[in-house]
């Protein structure tokens, strides 16, 4: 199969996978849902067609292995991304990286490449964190980086068995859409990633008192939604990248004063100390709002992940491979989280970004060009060959 054919087939597969959803009218696939099982079956079939040994690990990550001929103790190069999505997602965030890895491996196998390491193509089961509000569940389980607090919050007790043995992984490389506008503005298809922003996610609850909307005097109400609204506007003004994307008001009727509001809080920054200081400042602001409005604040940090730098040597290999396609390959920081952040704790990790239309992501309008995808497949293939020739 030539590269033109591989890239066109990859785009077709992204379309097909984009129809595998838990909801009829939009793309949503979350950890362990029926659609995730169907996605793993579909991609697992494509992996088998490519000659890979396919399995699901204890964290429901999908793995397709190409063992190194003649060396049962060879280390493993992991290539992939995630197969779960946000709600009302685009079809490339995650799947593009899994299917680019599979296409690059297909190209290598068809060319008869002999590699000194195993390759595993991976589709992680949960990167977005929609089900438990904390991210990197699949890759964190594989890397063994899930905290006790994260494990306590999830129902899957066996997930720790997905942890790979120390020293087993040679490296991890991930292709992903940029999710930002830089490559497009510079008219470039590919870029490498310098590092991944840290993030804090908090579950914020305001607890007041429910009551009759028509008879309870305005004065003296303990309206939890008004408290949340006041705090959310303070979040918008805090001066770093911060978002409230999910909110639930109980009991949830138009004629009942909201007595209990739960909302998310997502704070990002490349400077970990600054991010943590901002989160603390926001907590104090939430407490002040709660005190003024006579409601109770509950503040539960569900994730606190530090900034991660990509591995310089592995990134150079990726950069050199991408240089075959464009004169300049820029190095970009990632404001989004990626599975590479979890893998970086246990092996060298690097990432290749692919231009996406308008920088749009976490939205059904996500779009990539077939020609850029062909370059990404070739760059990843060449990266593997370069890695094979280096004493890494």
| Binding site residues, ligand HGY, CB under 6 A | 127-128, 135, 336-337
Nearer to ligand HGY, 80 or 208 (CB): 80
Count of Cβ atoms closer than 10 Å to residue 273 Cβ? 10
Shorter beta-carbon distance to ligand HGY: residue 106 or 199:
199
d(CA 87, CA 94): 13
Closest CA to 147 of 350, 301, 311, 337: 301
- Using DSSP's 3-state secondary structure scheme, residue 104 falls into helix
Do 343 and 169 touch, CB atoms closer than 8 A?
Answer: yes
Selection from 135, 123, 120, 142 nearest residue 58 by Cα: 142
Shortest spacing between CB 135 and ligand HGY, in angstroms: 5
Q: Work out how close the CB of 272 gets to ligand HGY at its nearest, in angstroms, rounded to a whole number.
A: 16
Choice between 274 and 362, CB closer to ligand HGY:
362
**Which of Mn ion, ligand HGY, none does 174 bind, CB closer than 5 to 8 A by kind?**
none
How far is residue 343's CA from residue 122's CA, in Å, rounded to a whole number? 12
223's contact among Mn ion, ligand HGY, none, with CB below 5 to 8 A by partner kind, is: none
> Would you say 132 or 392 has its CB closer to ligand HGY?
132
Nearest distance in Å: CB 94, Mn ion: 5
Give min distance, CB of 256 to ligand HGY, in A: 33
**How far is residue 347's CA from residue 168's CA, in Å, rounded to a whole number?**
9
Tokens 């003296």, located at residue: 220
Tell me which stretch binds Mn ion (CB under 5 A): 35-43, 87-95, 116-124, 220-228: 87-95
Can residue 64 be called a binding residue for Mn ion (CB under 5 A)? no
Interface characters, 92-111, with Mn ion (x: CB under 5 A): -xx-----------------
Contact of residue 61 among ligand HGY, Mn ion, none (CB under 5-8 Å per partner type): none
Binding partner selected for residue 135 from ligand HGY, Mn ion, none, CB under the kind-specific 5 to 8 Å limit: ligand HGY
Which of ligand HGY, Mn ion, none sits in contact with 120, Cβ below 5 to 8 A by type?
none
> Which of ligand HGY, Mn ion, none is residue 94 near (CB under 5 to 8 Å by kind)?
Mn ion
CB-nearer residue toward Mn ion: 360 or 385? 360
Q: How far is the CB of 339 from ligand HGY (least distance, A)?
A: 9
What's the burial of 280, exposed, middle or buried (CB within 10 Å: 0-12/13-18/19+)?
exposed
Rounded to a whole number of angstroms, the minimum distance from the CB of residue 355 to ligand HGY is 17
**262 close to 205: Cβ distance less than 8 angstroms:** yes
Residue 17 or 119: the one with the smaller Cβ distance to ligand HGY is: 17
Cβ-based nearer residue to ligand HGY, 266 or 382: 266
- Tokens 């994307």 sit on residue: 245
Q: What gap in Å lies between CA 344 and CA 312, rounded to an integer?
A: 12
Closest separation between CB of residue 199 and Mn ion, Å? 12
Question: Shortest distance, CB of residue 1 to Mn ion, whole angstroms?
Answer: 26
CB-wise, 336 or 354, nearer to ligand HGY?
336
Q: What is the DSSP string of 205-272?
A: EEE---EETTTS-STT---HHHHHHHHHHHHHTSSSEEE---EEEES--TTEE--EEEEEEEEEES-H
- What's the CA dihedral at 379, 383, 384, 387 to 10 degrees? 170
Give least dist CB 336 to ligand HGY, A: 4
With CB cut-offs between 5 and 8 Å by kind, which of ligand HGY, Mn ion, none does residue 191 bind? none
Q: Is 90 in the site for Mn ion (CB under 5 A)?
A: no
Number of residues that bind Mn ion (CB under 5 A): 2
Contacting range for Mn ion; rule: CB under 5 A; set: 91-99, 199-207, 238-246, 370-378: 91-99
Q: Using only C-alpha atoms, what is the Rg of the chain?
A: 22
Q: Are 333 and 195 in contact (CB under 8 A)?
A: yes
Helix axes 3-18, 370-389, angle to 10 degrees: 110
Binding positions for Mn ion, rule: CB under 5 A: 93-94
């Amino acid at each position: 199969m030539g590269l033109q054919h591989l890239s066109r087939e990859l785009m077709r597969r992204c379309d097909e996978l984009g129809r595998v959803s838990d909801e009829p009218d939009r793309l949503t696939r979350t950890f362990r849902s029926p659609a995730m099982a169907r996605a793993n079956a579909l991609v697992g079939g494509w992996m088998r067609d490519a000659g890979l040994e396919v399995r699901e690990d204890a964290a429901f990550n999908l793995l397709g292995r190409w063992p190194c001929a003649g060396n049962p103790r060879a280390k493993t190069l992991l290539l992939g991304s995630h197969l779960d999505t946000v709600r009302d997602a685009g079809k490339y965030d995650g799947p593009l990286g899994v299917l680019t890895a599979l296409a690059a491996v297909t190209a290598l196998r068809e060319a008869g490449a002999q590699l000194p390491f195993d390759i595993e193509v991976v589709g992680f089961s949960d990167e977005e964190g929609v089900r438990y509000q904390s991210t990197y569940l699949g890759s964190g389980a594989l890397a063994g980086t899930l905290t006790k607090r994260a494990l306590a919050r999830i129902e899957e007790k066996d997930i720790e068995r997905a942890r790979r043995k120390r020293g087993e992984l040679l490296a991890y490389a991930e292709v992903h859409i940029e999710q930002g506008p830089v490559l497009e503005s510079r008219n470039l298809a590919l870029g490498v990633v310098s590092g991944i922003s840290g993030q804090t996610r908090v579950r914020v609850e305001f607890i007041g008192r429910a009551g009759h909307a028509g008879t309870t005097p305005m004065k003296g109400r303990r309206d939890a939604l008004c408290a949340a609204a006041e705090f959310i506007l303070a979040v918008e003004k805090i001066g770093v990248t911060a978002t409230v994307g999910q909110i639930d008001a109980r009991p949830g009727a138009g004629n009942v004063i909201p007595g209990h509001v739960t909302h998310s809080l997502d704070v990002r920054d490349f400077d970990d100390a600054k991010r943590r200081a901002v989160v603390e400042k926001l907590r104090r602001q939430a407490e002040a709002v709660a005190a003024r409005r006579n409601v109770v604040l509950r503040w539960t940090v569900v994730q606190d992940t530090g900034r991660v730098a990509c591995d310089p040597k592995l990134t150079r290999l990726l950069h050199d491979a991408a240089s075959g396609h464009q004169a300049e390959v820029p190095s970009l920081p990632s404001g989004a989280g990626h599975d590479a952040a979890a893998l970086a704790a246990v092996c060298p990790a690097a990432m290749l970004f692919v231009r996406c239309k308008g920088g749009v992501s976490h939205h059904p309008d996500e779009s990539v060009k077939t020609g850029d995808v062909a370059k990404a497949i070739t760059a990843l293939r060449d990266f593997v060959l370069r890695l094979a020739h280096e004493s890494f």
